[in-house]
Amino acid sequence: MNLTDSIRSVIKRLFGVDPVTTQVESTVLEEQTRRYRDLHGVNLTAIFAGKLAALTVTDSTVQVIGDSARAESLNEAFQTVWGKARKWTSVAMGTGGVLLIPYVTGGQMFTDIVPQSSMIINKVNGDELLAVTILADSTVKGDERYFRMTDYALEDNGLLTIRQRAVNATGSPVVLQSFPVWADLAEEMTITGVEHLPMAYIKCPVDNRRNEELYGVPITYGCDDLIKEVEECLEDIRREFKLKKPMVGVDPLVFDVENGRRHLPLTGLFMPSQSGMLESSGKFWEVYDPAIRDSSYYNRLTHLYELLEKQVGTSRGILTEPQSRGATATEIKAGMYDTYAVVQLMRTAVEQGLDRLAEAMNVLSNVYGLSPIGAYGLAFDWSYAMIESSQESFQQLISAAAVDAVEAAEVRQYVIPGETLEESRERVEEIRKNKVDLSDELMKQALAAEASRNPVTVYDEE
């Protein structure tokens, strides 16, 4: 089923609602997703999205913290989602937005990663989504593909209604339970005391340059003309190298047939020259080997790359060679600040989205009784390696530890990432104990050696 062709009419027929999302918006959203997923040629949107997603989440962590069984259960589900953080962050930047939708089946919590083009908005209050329909999943049965659509509607009194329907490729309803993969899903359920729709909507932080902001826009939004120039330049370079094939022009007599075969092959490196050309020059052959105009082409390509980085809003280093980072943290931050600003905005969007995801998982845990009710919180630990000098940061930690501004365990965590603070404390205490024991032993050995060199003489008073 083509989302842009019939999804609005299918939603109205299945759920009896009139979408806020227009046909034009649906078409634009689908096109944005198609461009991001395009596997042909050089996909500049995917390059920017992938690079910035890596800078956003690499070496960073998020934990659901708390002493309750609920916190432990949510953290287990969260780590599965965070393990795919680079993927869904890239989807958000490449298509404009991504939905993380938790669901429970077989007594376990799972999370769907859905591009915003698969979401039709039915009701909003400002920026708050109150009712949406999601093209959530698809499966193949026999020779046909079928689709699962999920409708979420939140009332003012906190009543959430979730309805599941299955349709075929033409949008006609089919029985949901006839598909094993969806058999455990209830066709309709209600949940009370809900504040937000049970999903995370993470949008790319690029300004869409319009008043309404129902949907996000890709990281390369507004750069279509410049991207087209880059693609044309890359095609010119490809054509230049393809046409630049050295040839050796040889007198046509060489290609005369003798005993049923030619002295040289007619195609490939050797080609017959035009009649009279070699005779006039007095040469038996001539080499045709024009120089490649690589310098001019690559200078233009680099210039276009720089313009595209500026238009997207990043520093050098995405498509071009990065600027010299210098030796100090200040110089590093100055050289990467534009990219760092984009990454920080994306991290803020991720934090807000994951806060909603934790809330949604908590609601579903209550409904399905996955774990006892208990307190939980989120702890983010973002990496700042892109703007930091590791040597300077370590020296700052050492100086802070010397004046008791931080503890030794925090210094150890910097040197050995991955340990929890409690694990680092235990290891530091163990190292200190072993150090004291070793110092005592060395002192005893030193005193014994001194005593052996200078024995004490005891005199009898008589």
Tokens 């393990």 belong to 83
CA dist 24 and 37 (Å) reads 20
**What pLDDT, on a 0 to 100 scale, did the predictor assign at position 10?**
86
- Mean pLDDT for 182-201 is 92
**What pLDDT, on a 0 to 100 scale, did the predictor assign at position 219?**
97
Domain ranges for the chain, please list them.
Answer: 225-312, 389-451
Q: What is the pLDDT of residues 266-283, one digit of tens each?
A: 555 666 665 545 555 555
For residue 23, give every residue at least 6 positions away whose Cβ sits within 8 Å of its Cβ, in sequence order, or none: 4, 8
Cβ–Cβ contacts within 10 Å for residue 254, how many?
Answer: 14
Q: DSSP secondary structure string, 114-150?
A: EEGGGEEEEEEETTEEEEEEEEEEEEEETTEEEEEEE
Is the pLDDT assigned to residue 104 strictly greater than 90? no
Q: What is the pLDDT of residues 68-97, one digit of tens each?
A: 999 999 999 999 999 999 999 999 999 999
- Mean pLDDT for 191-209 is 94
Please tell me the pTM assigned to this model: 0.79
CA dist 312 and 226 (Å) reads 11
Q: How confident is the model at residue 349 (pLDDT cuts 50, 70, 90)?
A: very high
Helix (H) or strand (E) holding 173: strand 173-174
